[in-house]
Amino acid sequence: MLRITRSEESKLTSWYFEIDRGLLGCILILIVIGLLAVVSVGAAEAAHKGDPWFFFLKKALLPYSMGFVALFGFSMLNKKQVIRISIVGLVLGIIALLFTFINKHPKNGSLRWFYMGGFSFMPSDFLKPFFVVLTAWFLSKMHKVYGSDIFMNKDAFKFKLISWWPYAILFAICIALIFMHPDVGTALLYTGVLAIMLFVAGFPYKFLPVIFSVFGVMAVAALTFMPHIKKRAAHIFDIARDSQAWYSINSIRHGGLFGSGEEAYVKEVLPESTNDFVYSAIAEDWGAISACALVVLLFVILSKLIKHASMAKDDFVVYAVAGAAALFGGQICFNLMTALHLVIDKGMTLPFVSYGGVSFVVFCILFGITLALIREDTWNN
């Protein structure tokens, strides 16, 4: 029987023994659940659209292959490589974000899609892991330049290359572009992730009303200038028959405790059953017990990230892993609350479970980077 031992000196064996195999294993289980959902839920949606049962599975082969390569490839990088790649990724993402306003291709009333050579993706999704990494790098750099109190130090607010102004201006521009797509949900998610990373970096709690006021301004602007948001918000306390929320709730109800199996019919007409409402379709297919087990697995991963963030020795790793946890947890909450009709539909995927090419690859990159930073912080520091 072939057995890898620590005495073997190679990059692969070092990676194997240094990686957090528990966290990686949980991610791989989640990916398997997502693949099973693509088969079971995707087959029903494909049949409803008149496509062969393997339609979504066939489409998923390329992004899943790319995602696996990204997950394992990024997990083998070091801190400097992660930062350099993130700089390139952020620049490319911002260029693509700007390009969506120049070369407009509206889809479902939104300009958020970037098209090139028959390939499309959302720059706001693509930017997520690189935003987390570079925000973490910026916060750690600020601490090195200005000391422990980067929020009350007057020098930190002077216009310099390493100061609050350049970052604030760049972040505000990116969020404004995402907000105007319109993509209110993603803009709120980015703002929330930044807020959590700032509090981890020592943001004073007495300024908490400032954070809430930012969310309030964004909400008021969305309700005032975006008719579709206002229309959805007006129906948040009631469920119109044949609406997305109506099908979602009934899909969950129809599943019962143990699932409906072959009798699961609501998911066949549930909009976005492989994407935004995949949790509802899984609940109907496999039942409430399995659906709750999925939530437990998601929060086990989240708890592992929080534990690593609290134990990390390098400030950069603390902020990066905390940001990854905030992004992962925030997107889970948005997706599950949408499925349960606790918020208006935000169009966000359930990480690793929803069918979605770029979204899947993006979270593989995020967790590959996170695993790499945890590995280096644990073994090199």
* pLDDT-based confidence at residue 1 (cuts at 50, 70, 90): very low
Instruction: Report pLDDT digits (tens) over 60-101.
Output: 888 899 999 999 999 999 999 999 999 999 999 999 888 887
> pLDDT at residue 278 above 80?
yes
- What percentage of the chain exceeds 70 in pLDDT? 89
* pLDDT-based confidence at residue 105 (cuts at 50, 70, 90): low
CB atoms within 10 A of CB 227: 10
Burial of 297 (0-12, 13-18, 19+ CB in 10 A): middle
Question: What is the spatial distance between Cα 251 and Cα 285, in angstroms, rounded to a whole number?
Answer: 9
Write down the pTM of the prediction: 0.91
Residue 25, domain member (yes or no):
no
For tokens 């949980």, name the residue: 26
Burial of 359 (0-12, 13-18, 19+ CB in 10 A): buried
- What percentage of the chain exceeds 90 in pLDDT? 43
Residue 6, domain member (yes or no):
no
Rounded to the nearest integer, the mean pLDDT of the chain is: 86
For residue 96, what are the contacts with CB-CB under 8 A and spacing of at least 6? 114, 121, 123, 126
Angle between helix 208-225 and 227-234 (nearest 10): 100
Domain limits for position 193: 45-380
Residue 27, domain member (yes or no):
no
Q: Report DSSP state, residue 32.
A: H
* pLDDT-based confidence at residue 22 (cuts at 50, 70, 90): very high
Residue 204, domain member (yes or no):
yes
Q: What is the pLDDT of residue 45?
A: 72
- E strands of 8-118, at which residues? 114-116
Residue 87, domain member (yes or no):
yes
Residue 7, domain member (yes or no):
no
Instruction: Report pLDDT digits (tens) over 191-249.
Output: 999 999 999 999 988 888 888 898 888 888 887 888 777 777 766 666 767 677 777 88
Residue 92, domain member (yes or no):
yes
For the chain, how many structural domains are there in total? 1
Residue 38, domain member (yes or no):
no
